[in-house]
Structure 1
Amino acid sequence: MKRLFPLLTFLAIALISLAMAGFAYFGSQEAARIKFEAIVDDAISRIETRLDLHLTLLKTTQAFLDTHENRVSQPQFQAFIAALDMKVNFPGLRGLGTLRLARTGDEEQIRSLIHQEQGLEREIYPETDQQWRAPVVIFEPRKPSSDMLIGYDMFSDPIRRQAMEMAMSDDALHATAPLMLGENAGVDPFAGFVVFVRLKNARPFAATQTPPPLTDGFLYAGFRSDELFNSALLRMPLLPVHVTIYDSQTGEEKPMFNSATPAITMGNLVDTRYMNVADRQWALKFEPTVAFSPPSSPVIPVMLGLFGLLSAVAIALVSRYRERAYDAAEKLHETAEKSLLEKDLMLQEMKHRIKNLISRILAISRQTASRAADVNEFSESFTARLQAMAASQDMLTRSRWQKVDLMELLRIELEQVFGNDLQPGLLNGPQVLLDEAATQALGLTFHELATNALKYGKASNSIDALKVDWRVEGQHRKRMLILNWRESEQENLQKPESIGFGTKLIDVNITRELGGSISRRFLPSGLQVKIRIPLK
């Protein structure tokens, strides 16, 4: 528990800090959302106010015509429109006009009415396959381009016709879907829409109806979308929102208006509102612009979180250092006691190792002496074996009595017998690390095998006649070292009649010391020895 205390401290403070940063972040996001919604409400209010003003003008004009029983002359209508100063007070409104509804084939009566009201000789256009016609009779404010509208049959256009048929059923305003205006006025087309209202003394429209009188028809207003919506949105102070307006009833993705200031991505600050305009539903999508500034900086939650994490790290480090100071004091005390025990163990181990070496040397000396013909032979054999033991001991000492590499042990023992001219490929096998017992036993074994090869085999003439390879089988505690000692280029090799001390020494080292096995094959081509010992 003491070791986990710094970690638990860090986690607790970090979680609290992150929770506070999270609350601060979501609080800032909520504040930004509330501020953005307030701006959207302001934008909606501006658009609705502007549209209400324009549509109220259309209803007022309807009432004006109704009070005159729809018998307003061109000069009267012109004076009425001029008094409104539409360019200043009603931006986006292109003009107001009247249509007269007549059955197809009765165009002459409308041409006469146009000539009487406008003083223009105008044909009704375009050609149509509809049963009814609704050409423009009056349009104000009058200008050369608007005169081209006179005589244009709006009933021939399916978008306008849909709104007109709905307007004939009641006295409400009915807007068209978005369309391009200006084509029939000789100007560059622009996006907009038209709103129709039935003249109040006009009878409900029906396909089987007898032709209505010439005074039956519609009052309409044409709107230019960009001028209309910009006049609402570009009032001071400017709102930091990008507005895209769609007609949601058409199902088309092309907007009828797109504000000029580009939108930016700021979290989930996107708001879509719906508005009913003259019996038509619009979708208004609002997004923030670069001018939108959240009420609180997003950097504050990040800084708060970082400060909390740094504080948690600092407190955890202080706890950790304090714990390490206590551990260091305890370890110093334990080390002092352990060093005394290790010193005693080292002395005991040294005594044991010296006793074993002396016993091994005495055994080797006795066996060597019993086989030696004279003192010189004893001295030579005994010295060579002691050197093999010394080489193993030297490798163990350099490895601090840990592990010795098998290839290095073989190389040293073979170099003692054959010199330093060992050819590449003589030794082949993976890295195998030997413990103390295996190092001492295999060191003497390799020395005896090499000495015999030098005395009796072709290796006395060429080291190329000798090959040693090994491999490891099994895994973990069941690993087994298999070593092959091969002597070649021999002639008529036969198994010896008696077993010498060197052979006995090898067998004792492999079978008793290491718990392995050894087999020898005396082939005509040479000696083959296979050694199998378990690895620890």
Structure 2
Amino acid sequence: MKKLFPIVAFIAVALASLTMAGFAYFATQEAARIKFEATADDALNRIDSRIDLHLSLLRSTHALFEARNGGISRGEFKAFFEALGINDNFTGLRGIGFLRLVRAGDEAAVERAILHDYGASDAIYPATTTLPWRTPITLFEPLDPSNRSSIGYDMFTEPVRREAIERAMADNQQHASGRVQLGQETGAAQTFTGFLVFVRLNVETAQDGIAASRSSTSGFLYAAFRARDLFQTALSRTPLLPVNIEIYDGKVDADHLLFQSETPPASSFGNRLLVSRELTIAGRPWTVLFRPTSAFSQPSSRAIPVMLGLFGLLLAGTIALVARYQERAYDAVSLLHETTEKSLLEKDLMLQEMKHRIKNSITRVLAIARQTASHATDVHEFSSSFSARLQAMAASQDMLTRSRWQKADLGDLLRIELGQVFGKELPEGILSGPEVLLDETTTQALGLTFHELATNALKYGEAGNSATTLKGNWALKVDWSVEGRGRDRTLVLNWREAGQKKLEAPVKTGFGTKLIDLNVTRELGGTINRDFHDGGLNVEIRIPLSS
């Protein structure tokens, strides 16, 4: 039970914390939904109030026609329309017009009225119809060259418009049409997606056979709306709302789309905050979809549930850790004992290595001093040359120190190590190979390896002969290449020493040789092969490179 208690405690506390985080998450989502629904309702009210403002203009025009019992000339209608300042105050309204209601076959009277008002004999079109009624446009404002050809167009011949006109025949209410392409009936170069709103006009002198109880229908007043301009104007009031809006005539269908916002919805919300509303305009139902844009900000941060969950898991983990403190303390003591023994072994190896490097450093200093003195003409020249070579040794140590936290170049490492032994000025051609960047472990191991190889070459090989090293005839060449690609790359390095005497393998292996083998084979997982021959010594080192 003691061993199971930490696990049970962790599971219990973690479940409680995750439950709290879940409640906080759902509360955050609900707050975001409520906030966005309020934003959507604000946008819906803007659209509804804007359309109602435009429809009030249609009601005012209807009142004018009723007051004059339908007797409005083109000039009076134009003056009334211009006085309202439509372009400044009613953006999205394409215009207001009047349809004369006549029986099929009685078109001549309407064509005479058009000739009287416009001075042109415009025939009603389409020329023929199988329907009992005709509703040609006789008045429209603003009338410009782009829509002048609409005069005489019979809207009753078009199914969408006819359906709204027939509903307007039945009562005195306004009735909206479905989605139409404004300007399409006249063949205009530019058309607009929009809708129409109709209301019938009853007069005392209407034609026989079309009547209410006290008056007869002489025609229909209508307003034409450009959907995009109308809705953009309604939504452009400050503050701008962070919503993407789609408005459909009736059901949600691509063929019924009246308007879609230019600002796209934020993909991060998906359909999680999708709000659907029904809006009735002039007796016709619309479906309005609202989605948040990237500008929508949630009322509370989603990071709060995450922080609660993380805090709960942290608390559960802490309790579990405390419960297992005694057991882990015992394991820690055992591990500490093992680590201490390993550290002592490493310390002993480091001390041996340090003594060996100090001994080799003294040997290098003496060799450099000896070579420098043999070619110096005076004490000043000896001092300058000797100081420069000692500075090269210090630069090598600096590079090895830097390699603990950054990549080191193989070529630079070789130049520094060889410069410590043979002098700072190395001739061109002694080193050749591509750029190879080494990590910290490889840099340390190869630096020590090159140090040992160079020291041995100075002590025992022809590379230490001043006649070959300082007069340009170098007996040492180092080249390298990289085999393979990606994680299977291998560094292949060849160390070649040439001379007049035959080099023989040493009878006894010294610490330096052992250190080289340990660095290459154990530390770096590579291989090293030495070939002592009549012309000198070849050493091939192969090391796998990290990616």
TM category (shorter chain) comes to 0.5 to 0.7
8 A Cα contact 1:118 1:138, kept in partner:
no
Question: What is the rounded CA distance, in whole Å, between the counterparts of 2:207 and 2:29 in structure 1?
Answer: 54
Q: Which residue of structure 1 aligns with residue 202 of structure 2? A: 200
1:62 matched to 2:62? The reply is yes
8 A Cα contact 2:206 2:218, kept in partner:
no
What amino acid maps onto 1:224 in structure 2? R
Question: What is the rounded CA distance, in whole Å, between the counterparts of 1:291 and 1:175 in structure 2?
Answer: 34
Q: Which residue of structure 1 aligns with residue 299 of structure 2? A: 295
Residues 10-19 or 55-64, more deviating:
10-19
**CA displacement at 1:311 relative to structure 2:** 2.1
Q: Which residue of structure 2 aligns with residue 533 of structure 1? A: none
In the superposition, relative to structure 1, how do residues 84 and 93 fare at CA in structure 2: closer, same or farther (>3 Å)?
Answer: same
1:174 matched to 2:175? The reply is yes
**CA displacement at 1:35 relative to structure 2:** 1.1
What amino acid maps onto 2:320 in structure 1? A
**CA displacement at 1:7 relative to structure 2:** 1.4
What amino acid maps onto 1:27 in structure 2? A
**CA displacement at 1:176 relative to structure 2:** 0.7
**CA displacement at 1:153 relative to structure 2:** 0.6
In the superposition, relative to structure 1, how do residues 165 and 42 fare at CA in structure 2: closer, same or farther (>3 Å)?
Answer: same
Q: State how 1:423-502 maps to structure 2 within 5 Å.
A: none
**CA displacement at 1:303 relative to structure 2:** 2.1
Give aligned pairs, total: 326
In the superposition, relative to structure 1, how do residues 250 and 139 fare at CA in structure 2: closer, same or farther (>3 Å)?
Answer: farther
**CA displacement at 1:94 relative to structure 2:** 0.3
Q: Which of the numbers 308, 314, 329 marks the counterpart of 1:310?
A: 314
1:280 matched to 2:281? The reply is no
Question: What is the rounded CA distance, in whole Å, between the counterparts of 2:70 and 2:174 in structure 1?
Answer: 17
In the superposition, relative to structure 1, how do residues 251 and 204 fare at CA in structure 2: closer, same or farther (>3 Å)?
Answer: farther
In the superposition, relative to structure 1, how do residues 245 and 72 fare at CA in structure 2: closer, same or farther (>3 Å)?
Answer: same
SS at match of 1:200: strand
1:486-523 superposed Cα distances (whole Å, 9 cap, x missing partner):
xxxxxxxxxxxxxxxxxxxxxxxxxxxxxxxxxxxxxx
1:31 matched to 2:24? The reply is no
Question: What is the rounded CA distance, in whole Å, between the counterparts of 2:87 and 2:249 in structure 1?
Answer: 26
**CA displacement at 1:250 relative to structure 2:** 8.8
**CA displacement at 1:190 relative to structure 2:** 1.3
SS at match of 1:14: helix
What amino acid maps onto 1:85 in structure 2? G
What amino acid maps onto 1:24 in structure 2? A
1:251-299 superposed Cα distances (whole Å, 9 cap, x missing partner):
6654111111111241510000001111110000000111111112212
What amino acid maps onto 1:149 in structure 2? S
**CA displacement at 1:145 relative to structure 2:** 1.8
Q: Which residue of structure 2 aligns with residue 92 of structure 1? A: 92
What amino acid maps onto 1:171 in structure 2? N
**CA displacement at 1:50 relative to structure 2:** 0.4
What amino acid maps onto 1:235 in structure 2? R
Q: Which residue of structure 2 aligns with residue 51 of structure 1? A: 51
**CA displacement at 1:66 relative to structure 2:** 0.4
SS at match of 1:290: coil
Q: State how 1:332-481 maps to structure 2 within 5 Å.
A: none
What amino acid maps onto 1:142 in structure 2? L
Q: Which residue of structure 1 aligns with residue 151 of structure 2? A: 150
8 A Cα contact 1:175 1:196, kept in partner:
yes
Question: What is the rounded CA distance, in whole Å, between the counterparts of 1:272 and 1:91 in structure 2?
Answer: 26
1:115 matched to 2:115? The reply is yes
Q: Which residue of structure 2 aligns with residue 262 of structure 1? A: 264
Q: Which residue of structure 2 aligns with residue 220 of structure 1? A: 222
**CA displacement at 1:18 relative to structure 2:** 1.0
**CA displacement at 1:216 relative to structure 2:** 0.5
SS at match of 2:324: helix
Q: Which of the numbers 242, 250, 265 marks the counterpart of 1:240?
A: 242
In the superposition, relative to structure 1, how do residues 101 and 277 fare at CA in structure 2: closer, same or farther (>3 Å)?
Answer: same
Question: What is the rounded CA distance, in whole Å, between the counterparts of 1:117 and 1:172 in structure 2?
Answer: 29
**CA displacement at 1:217 relative to structure 2:** 0.4
Question: What is the rounded CA distance, in whole Å, between the counterparts of 1:19 and 1:214 in structure 2?
Answer: 71
Question: What is the rounded CA distance, in whole Å, between the counterparts of 2:251 and 2:54 in structure 1?
Answer: 22
Question: What is the rounded CA distance, in whole Å, between the counterparts of 1:13 and 1:310 in structure 2?
Answer: 10
Structure 1: 5+ residue stretches without partners: 330-536
In the superposition, relative to structure 1, how do residues 129 and 96 fare at CA in structure 2: closer, same or farther (>3 Å)?
Answer: same
8 A Cα contact 1:110 1:214, kept in partner:
no
Q: Which residue of structure 2 aligns with residue 410 of structure 1? A: none
1:319 matched to 2:303? The reply is no
In the superposition, relative to structure 1, how do residues 312 and 106 fare at CA in structure 2: closer, same or farther (>3 Å)?
Answer: same
Question: What is the rounded CA distance, in whole Å, between the counterparts of 1:315 and 1:162 in structure 2?
Answer: 74
Question: What is the rounded CA distance, in whole Å, between the counterparts of 2:194 and 2:205 in structure 1?
Answer: 28
Question: What is the rounded CA distance, in whole Å, between the counterparts of 2:206 and 2:244 in structure 1?
Answer: 42
Question: What is the rounded CA distance, in whole Å, between the counterparts of 1:16 and 1:202 in structure 2?
Answer: 80
What amino acid maps onto 2:84 in structure 1? L
In the superposition, relative to structure 1, how do residues 155 and 205 fare at CA in structure 2: closer, same or farther (>3 Å)?
Answer: farther
8 A Cα contact 2:202 2:216, kept in partner:
no
**CA displacement at 1:31 relative to structure 2:** 1.3
- 4+ residue runs of structure 1 moved beyond 6 angstroms? 202-206, 326-329
**CA displacement at 1:12 relative to structure 2:** 2.1
Percent pairwise identity: 51
In the superposition, relative to structure 1, how do residues 13 and 253 fare at CA in structure 2: closer, same or farther (>3 Å)?
Answer: farther
1:109-145 superposed Cα distances (whole Å, 9 cap, x missing partner):
0011112222222111113221211100000112112
What amino acid maps onto 2:14 in structure 1? A
Question: What is the rounded CA distance, in whole Å, between the counterparts of 2:82 and 2:251 in structure 1?
Answer: 35
8 A Cα contact 1:244 1:285, kept in partner:
yes
Q: Which residue of structure 2 aligns with residue 463 of structure 1? A: none
Question: What is the rounded CA distance, in whole Å, between the counterparts of 1:95 and 1:325 in structure 2?
Answer: 88
Question: What is the rounded CA distance, in whole Å, between the counterparts of 2:305 and 2:111 in structure 1?
Answer: 74
1:184-221 superposed Cα distances (whole Å, 9 cap, x missing partner):
44241111111100003289999x759xx998000001
RMSD (Å), alpha carbons? 2.6
**CA displacement at 1:300 relative to structure 2:** 2.1
Question: What is the rounded CA distance, in whole Å, between the counterparts of 2:252 and 2:291 in structure 1?
Answer: 22
SS at match of 2:147: helix
SS at match of 1:72: coil
What amino acid maps onto 2:285 in structure 1? Q
In the superposition, relative to structure 1, how do residues 4 and 168 fare at CA in structure 2: closer, same or farther (>3 Å)?
Answer: same
What amino acid maps onto 1:76 in structure 2? E
1:162-191 superposed Cα distances (whole Å, 9 cap, x missing partner):
110110110001111101111244241111
Question: What is the rounded CA distance, in whole Å, between the counterparts of 1:196 and 1:203 in structure 2?
Answer: 21
Structure 2: 5+ residue stretches without partners: 334-547
Question: What is the rounded CA distance, in whole Å, between the counterparts of 1:140 and 1:29 in structure 2?
Answer: 50
What amino acid maps onto 1:168 in structure 2? M
Question: What is the rounded CA distance, in whole Å, between the counterparts of 2:207 and 2:262 in structure 1?
Answer: 42
**CA displacement at 1:302 relative to structure 2:** 1.2
8 A Cα contact 1:240 1:290, kept in partner:
yes
**CA displacement at 1:4 relative to structure 2:** 2.1
1:183 matched to 2:187? The reply is no
**CA displacement at 1:328 relative to structure 2:** 11
Question: What is the rounded CA distance, in whole Å, between the counterparts of 2:326 and 2:205 in structure 1?
Answer: 97
Residues 268-277 or 249-258, more deviating:
249-258
